[in-house]
Amino acid sequence: MSSSKPLVGVIGGVGPLATAYFLDMVVRLTAAERDQDHLDLVVFNHASIPDRTDFVVGRSQENPGPVMAEDARRLEAFGAEFLVLPCNTAHTFTDEVQAAVRIPLLSIVGETLDEAQRRVPGLERAGVLATTGTIRSGVYHRALEERGITPLAPGEEDQATVMRVIYEQVKAGRPVDLEALRSVVGSLLAEGAQVVLLGCTELSVVAADFELLADPLYVDSLDQLARATILRAGAQVRG
């Protein structure tokens, strides 16, 4: 017997650990009393998608956009009724991905900004922690400015710290220097940030491991995407 639930297509592997955390969040956040109450998902954990930041900053000529567009087509052919992409830098290529399919793609950026504005009515200044690729692509900066919010990004040295945490620690499976990351956050607060957007799913891993989301200062993109996925699939968010 076929399920009446919408099938969720997950373009994963970008990165693999963030995808695993996303799936764990979806399960934990779904208000379910039994297996059958959970979402139906098909996950393409495509870890070999070319590095998004390397392409955006010009370190690589391997364009991840066509690869993700093909992944979207494969998930649509499998029967997915909407797509999610648990990677912020990859949202640089969402126009290409969306153009490849007829089904919608949820925006991790839009969901994150919606929550930031809900949390801080009249939000004026938001700090953005993300990969250099995401910063340079302007994915968050444009979206914030369109809403009349001033985006605040780390300075050069602080951004290098963020990238070390993302690439040399989380992606590499090594211990995270949380105090160094907190120092970057402190600099953003000194500039007037009212919230800090965790605009990289590897930073979402840090948030989960160190319970950062107990502090309402942090708005986590992966957490918001998980919640939006649950609701879009017709289920309820726990608690």
pLDDT tens across 56-98, in order? 888 899 999 999 999 999 999 999 999 999 998 888 899 999 9
Q: Which of 67, 80, 87, 97 is catalytic?
A: 87
Has 87 been annotated as catalytic? yes
For the chain, percent of residues with pLDDT exceeding 90? 87
Max CA-CA distance within the chain?
57
CATH number for 108-221 (one of 3.65.10.10, 3.40.50.1860, 3.90.1150.10, 3.40.50.300): it is 3.40.50.1860
Residue that is written with structure tokens 């289920």 in the block: 235
Averaged pLDDT, 208-222: 96
- Any bridge partners for residue 150, and if so which? 125
**C-alpha–C-alpha distance, residues 75 and 95, integer Å:** 17
Judged against a pLDDT cut of 70, whether residue 2 lies above it is answered with no
3-state secondary structure the chain: CCCCCCEEEEEECCCHHHHHHHHHHHHHHECCCCHHHCCEEEEEECCCCCCHHHHHCCCCCCCHHHHHHHHHHHHHHHCCCEEECCCCHHHHHHHHHHHCCCCCECCHHHHHHHHHHHHCCCCCEEEEECCHHHHHHCHHHHHHHHCCCEEECCCHHHHHHHHHHHHHHHCCCCCCCHHHHHHHHHHHHHCCCCEEEECCHHHHHHHHHHCHHHCCCEEEHHHHHHHHHHHHCCCCECC
Q: Which residues contact 141 (CB under 8 A, 6 or more apart)?
A: 128, 135, 151, 153
pTM (predicted TM-score)? 0.92
Question: What Rg do the C-alpha atoms of the chain give, in angstroms?
Answer: 17
Q: Which of 75, 196, 200, 226 is catalytic?
A: 200
Assigned fold of 7-107+225-232: Rossmann fold (3.40.50)
The mean pLDDT value of the chain amounts to 95
Domains 7-107+225-232 and 108-221 agree in fold: yes
Q: Where are the domains of the chain?
A: 7-107+225-232, 108-221
Judged against a pLDDT cut of 60, whether residue 48 lies above it is answered with yes
For the chain, percent of residues with pLDDT exceeding 70? 99
Judged against a pLDDT cut of 90, whether residue 46 lies above it is answered with yes
